[in-house]
Every structure is written in C-alpha cells, then in structure tokens.
Structure 1
Amino acid sequence: MTQLQTTEVPAAKNPSLAPPDKLAVTLIVNGVEQTLRLAPWTTLLDALRDHLNLTGTKKGCDHGQCGACTVLVEGRRINSCLTFAVMQDGARITTIEGLARNGVLHPLQQAFTDHDAFQCGYCTPGQICSAAGLLAEGKPLTRDEIREAMSGNICRCGAYPNIVAAIEQAMGRT
C-alpha cells in the first residue's frame, strides 16, 4: 500500500469580510419621494413593508408565484418580491395605499367592494394593483383574456368570478 504524501500548507489568513455598505435608494412611492439606505439585497417588497411601513403589499410566497406582492412600477405591474429596491432607484411606485385619491376609492377598489371580490382579503391588494396595471395597458379584453392576464395572481379563497366582474365594472362594462 502506497502512502499518500501530503504537504502542509500554512493556514490561510481568513480576514472577516465586512458586509457591503448600505446604498442610498430614492423611490417615489405613491407620489412621495423617499430616500432610504438599504442593503443591496433588499427587495422592493421588503423596502416597502419594512422600511416605509406600507404593509398593504403582502408577502405571500416570496418567489413570484402568487402575486400578493404586486405593485405598479412606472405604471407596469411587477412582483415586488422579485426585484431589488436598488434596481428601482428613481422609479415611481404605486402601492395599494396610493390608488385612492382625495379620500375616494380607485374605481377598482370600489368595484372589488361592490362585487365582494375578496374573502380573506390577503391577495386583494395584489389583485387590485395587477388589475390597475392591466387597465393601464388599455387593451379591450374578454372575460377569458382578463382571466389569463390575471393568472399570475392567486386567490386561495376562489373569488375569481367576482374578481373578473369587478375588473369588468372598472373597465366600464357591468
């Protein structure tokens, strides 16, 4: 049996790595400019909830699969759990808290109420923000197209028929 010959290597110096500096990130959230100092890995969802106390946007799956975290960035719907806040530096962001104007509900918020388009309500902010982005896209949609366009937002209670009806009402179809 052959003996393995080993060479001793002096222990490598392992200096402890300092965490990266926090970065200044400016977000225009619901019309208000906010400058935050955030770790580079902070998601937009966590910046909104944990740093700006805007807790209407929900953390559901934290993997972009449920849509509970949907917000509008520059008018387009995105899953805020899948983007870093630093990637949105300077962007205009609208959350569920920013949809109503002067104490009047957004037409989608009113339609969701009118059609009882929620049960537990957990997914509702993401559903409404996604629907607002859908309406902003300006495409005339059939019921099937609405369902398809909203398929990234999951309602565990099954209020889908009422959600579609609410979107149709907000589109001016009742």
Structure 2
Amino acid sequence: MLTAFSVMAGYALLACCYLAMKSRGAIRFRAAKLGRTLVVVVMAAMVLVSIWTLIAEPEIRERWFSGFNLLLLSPLPLLSLWVAQRLLRDLGRHRHEQRSFFLAVALFVLGFAGLVVGLFPYLVPRQLTLWQAQSPASSLEFMLPGVLIFVPLICAYTLWGYRIFSGKVEDFEEGY
C-alpha cells in the first residue's frame, strides 16, 4: 500500500510539473506550488519504502550493505536527494520550467533503478527470476521483425505528436 501511495504521489508530481511547463499565470503558479509539496511527499515515501524494504528483506539489505556495495550503490540515493533538491528549487522559480518536468522524470528513473538493484535478478521476489520469465527463443525471433518495424514508427509518431503540441497553451478556451 505504501508503494502504491508512492507511485500515485509520483504521478501527481509528474502531472504538476507538466502542467507548470505547459501553462502560464495562476494555473502555472498553483501547479508549481502543489508540485513543491509533492516533491516532499514523494521523497518521504521513497525513504519509507526503502527503509521498509531493508527491514523486511534481509537479501536486499545484504545486497546493499555487503562489501563495497554501499559505496558502489550510494550514487542512487544521493542523486535522488540532489534531483529532489533541484526540483524543489526549479518549481519555485519561473525559469527552467521544462527542467522541472525532466527532473521529476529523473526522480522516477532513479527510484526504479533502486528497485531493480534491490530485487535483481527477481521479477517477483523469491518466486520468479528474470531468466525464468523470459520467452522461448523461437517466440523472441518471431517478434523481432515486428519490433524492428513498429517501435521506430511508434517513436516517430510520438515525437511528431510532441512537436505538434509543443509550447505553452495560450488560449484556455480553444486549446492549441
């Protein structure tokens, strides 16, 4: 439940940063103000989930704290703190409106990276590993041509859509 709350708060933070990036005036100010609150909520939730995971899962605790692993893995939480600090600062200013959205995305990526480092090689803890979950080679070979054709098309279409709708919304009555 704590993880679900964390993800919900994270998506609300992404929405606030996106709205702050795409709007002006009172809407932008309100989204930035709510976003600053959500940064604190998301970071608190990330800390609580991390502590709970370390307490509840001895394998994950051992992975993080054995040998030089703490030294090697410490950039993840330190970068998360740095990104959160920059995000709080950028949401309080009217400059760098796009950077706040990308910092929120970076916070999500860092949280996901911490989760992967903690759970690897399991996809479902203590039940299903990455290698047990993979498809047979024949299925992967069958899918490869479709992936090579359609993933670039989907990426191009998505980039085209972002290009068409780039910039700020100027007229809230009629949209773009």
TM-score normalised per structure 2: 0.27
Q: Tell which structure's C-alpha radius of gyration is larger.
A: 1
TM-score normalised per structure 1: 0.27
Which structure: greater strand fraction? 1
